[in-house]
A and B are shown apart, each in its own frame.
Chain A
Amino acid sequence: MDHDEAVRQKATERYLLDELDPDLRDQFEEHLFDCQDCALDVRAAAMFVEQSKVVLAEPPVAAPARVPVPEPARAGCFAWFRPAFAVPVLALLLVMIGYQNFVTVPHLMQAANQPQVGPWASVNLSTRGEEATVIKVRTGQGFSLLLNLPPEDGFVSYTADLYNPGGKLEWSGSISVPAPGEGRQIYIPGRNRQSGTYTLVVHGVAVGGESKEISRHSIAVQIQN
């Protein structure tokens, strides 16, 4: 077993889950002892599993005991409805409801029902791009990634993982196989978006369930005010 095959078969995970048959296990171990990358991968995963056992064994945090709060002296059942208090509160509520019904909601409905022009970038998954795709957006503005999936590659579906500039997995999703000539689009919302280089990793899933990384693209998002 060589390194690429070990990565393609997710051998680290299969090894730790005892899913490899004896022959494959022996092959992987022979590779593991020689490949420092795979050795680190297995050791990290094993450490994660070991620490998980400790964390998962911890009892759930109990809700703090409620200390009964003495009831304040009642000023009568209808104290909250005194005009001096109730009128301003009601007025404020009416203003809020009016604003939402007459301004906010119509604006949102208009935005949702009309064509929108927005930034997009094309990501060709047939090649492993070495240069980052650059996309410029305004603060709060989302953007689309148009995926050109490799034709006739034999996969039954795809999965996509989006990592933020900090390396943290932000989003994962499944992508169905497109019809010939068809592409796929991922819309990335703009809310709380930060500038930086994001990484989109796409895996092809074969009939047997095996997953293979087919593309890893860097997307440099530049937020302009």
Chain B
Amino acid sequence: MLLQSFDDSYVERLREGDFRTQEHFVAYFTELIHLKLRSRLHSPQAIEDVRQETFARVLAALRGGKIRQPERLGAFVNSMCNNVLLELYRASARSTSLEDEEQDDFPTLNVDVLGAIATKRMGEKVREILNELPERDRRLLREIFLEERDKDDVCRDFGVDRDYLRVLLHRAKQSFKALYLKNIAARPPGMAVAKR
């Protein structure tokens, strides 16, 4: 999934229903929406509902010519997602419901063999990075990410502060990022990385 500029041309292709552009749009923003909603909603179905509704409204706004700044398409998607989320929280009838219109059903991301190989490669890289860490840092990450213990408690037990944890994650991410970028550049848009 190569970097694409969100410009007039992109928005126009999206509005016209160009398949590749739509694939890229859905893949790109699906990951961001999932990251955004993971701490706010716990139900995968609720996350999926918000994702679908967000995309539906963005597309409707596109067709209605309501996106005036193509370069701020991302901020528009985020803002729309916030609105959908707010409505979900309020559990009220959506005033801008698309019930009377034909609703696009946005596909969930596909997983293919190429994605599975990429995941395996990335898993090996992560293993390599973790094996290079001191045992203490590995245990620290295990308790934070796997056992999901309270971060302040874990830091206190290990005698470190939150900045140490941030720097640890930052450096590990930097070591991993080159391979990650290589893999997503090779992946066709619309394809996700297979989850183990």
Contact = CB atoms under 8 A, between A and B. Distances in A.
Asked whether A and B interact, the reply is yes
Contacts of B175: 168-169
Chain A facing B: main interface SS: helix
A170 B29 CA distance: 35
Chain A contact residues (Cβ within 8 angstroms of B): what range?
A: 35 or more
Contact of A44 (B74, B181, B196): B181
Contact of B173 (A12, A19, A210): A12
Nearest to B180: A44
Nearest to B165: A17
A42 B142 CA distance: 20
B44 interface: no
B54 to A, nearest CB: 11
Interface in A145-200: 159, 161, 167-169, 172
Contacts of B195: 50
Contacts of A42: 32, 35
Contacts of B162: 17, 19, 209
Interface of A: 10, 12-14, 16-19, 26, 29-30, 32-36, 39-57, 159, 161, 167-169, 172, 205, 209-211
16 contacts: A10-B170, A18-B39, A33-B32, A33-B78, A34-B72, A39-B32, A41-B177, A44-B177, A47-B180, A48-B126, A51-B119, A51-B122, A52-B145, A54-B126, A56-B146, A167-B178
Q: 6 tightest CB-CB pairs across the interface, nearest first? A: A33-B74, A33-B78, A34-B74, A51-B126, A209-B163, A44-B180
Interface of B: 3, 28-29, 31-32, 35-36, 39, 71-72, 74-75, 77-79, 82, 119, 122-123, 126-127, 129-130, 138, 141-142, 144-146, 151, 161-163, 165-167, 169-178, 180-181, 184, 193, 195-196
